[in-house]
Amino acid sequence: MVMDYDKRTPLHIAAVEGAYSVVQWLVKDEKVPVNPLDRHGRTPLEEAASHDHKEVVMLLISAGGAIYEGDKLVPLDASKLRGAVPTRTRDVGWVDEWEVSPKELKFVSKIGSGEFGDVFKAKWHGSFVAAKLLKRSDEIALGDFRTEIAILRKIHHPNMNQFLGACTKQRPYVVLTELMACSLADAFHWTMITMNRRRQVEVALDFARGMAYLHSRRQPIAHRDLKPANLMFSGNLHADVEQLILDSGVVKVCDFGLSKTLMANDKLKPLQRTDTSAEQFTDTYKLTGETGSYRYMAPEVFRHEPYNLKVDVYSFAIICFQLFEQVAPYATMDPLQAARCAACEDLRPTFPKVSGGLTEVHQKLRTLVEECWDKDPEKRPSFVKIVERLEGVLQLLPMHIHTFTKDQECCTVS
């Protein structure tokens, strides 16, 4: 049996990560032992239960999973972890609290499409919502889908797209979130819309505040797929889109399909550590694998090296480069080429020359961006620190007033 030096098997690792499809493959197809003990006497079921991966818990229990306690294997319901994770379908919180009947939904129009599903504008109890339909409908897809829901329903912050419910009892599987007006990618593509410096900083600050929340949770969440298309403007859906972008819209982080909830890895955690702030997580949580969009991907991810929360800080920097400089990063390269050059040649986007020199604010923003895309992840600031610095920059900028009239195609800024 394959093990690491802590006697953790692939099933242990998959259970910790909540990787439903991997657990399914190991247990059902590979027929691996379901109750191996690691060096600390933990079974895969204990790992899944401790990390609140309900779907993986149910799968392991169905395969004979148990908890090692008192020198013997006992059922979860008879162990010290009983009650920590519901083990009967009627007890599982997301079923009772979040389940939505497809009959309650009226699909209005298709507003987007991705690798994993299509997104529709839908009406639900009189309100417009975003409905994401899962393309795959097999058991493994449903398990992964429910694992994603388990992350979504824990996220509550003004700068996070709000999860509203899901349809998981019949196909097609659907997840409902609040409907947003447009994305930052849309704003970048609409050439008639130009944010002034204060608005640029406001957008970056909304973005950073949302990420500071994700990274500072008791169980931090790494987004791992930050890009302009996943930053959305919310607000009055009856208002002009230009008004939301240039003035009143709140930026929210969306699309948590690649997000990962992190728990401390004992072999990496310093024994003397007592500080659990986001600043202390950088050497405690390590992931590997290539996830996210190439143009905004951190070099260590592209190189398949261990990485941590700071990959999101790198992506933040590349996005803010375009936001502050109003030019696309690596404009002459395709995404894969850009990622390869950033990872293998330490290439970064080139700041355009500014006639007359940089203002104090512009210089501060460029310095922040450069620190955030540092090749050494440990030198990149945390999002808590980024928020503090952006708040300081905002204090240096005058308030702006936008006026809109029905006869204008766009708007005026004063």
- Is 132 annotated to bind a ligand? Reply is yes
By the 8 A CB rule, do 200 and 413 touch? Answer: no
Among all chains, which residue has been given the structure tokens 């809109």?
404
By the 8 A CB rule, do 304 and 288 touch? Answer: yes
List the Cα angle 180/181/186 in 5-degree steps. Answer: 115
DSSP SS3 for 387: helix
Q: Can you read off the two tokens belonging to residue 108?
A: 């209005």
- Residue 363 backbone phi and psi in degrees, to 5: -65, -40
DSSP SS3 for 380: coil
List the Cα angle 97/102/106 in 5-degree steps. Answer: 120
DSSP SS3 for 224: coil
List the Cα angle 280/230/259 in 5-degree steps. Answer: 45
Active site (annotated) includes residue 52 = no
Residue 87 CA to residue 56 CA, distance in Å, equals 11
DSSP string, 157-172: -TTBPPEEEEE-SSSS
Longest dimension (CA), the chain: 78
User: Which one from 225, 240, 255, 312 is the annotated catalytic residue?
Assistant: 225
By the 8 A CB rule, do 32 and 60 touch? Answer: no
Peptide bond into 172 cis (omega under 30): yes
Q: Can you read off the two tokens belonging to residue 407?
A: 């006869």
Among all chains, which residue has been given the structure tokens 């006992």?
74
List the Cα angle 338/325/157 in 5-degree steps. Answer: 85
How far apart are the two ends of the chain, measured CA to CA in Å? Answer: 69
By the 8 A CB rule, do 256 and 249 touch? Answer: no
Q: Say how many C-beta atoms besides its own lie within 10 A of residue 24's C-beta.
A: 20
- Cβ neighbours of residue 4 closer than 8 Å, sequence gap 6 or more: none
Q: Which residues are catalytic?
A: 225
Binding site members: 132
Annotated binding-site residues for ATP read 132
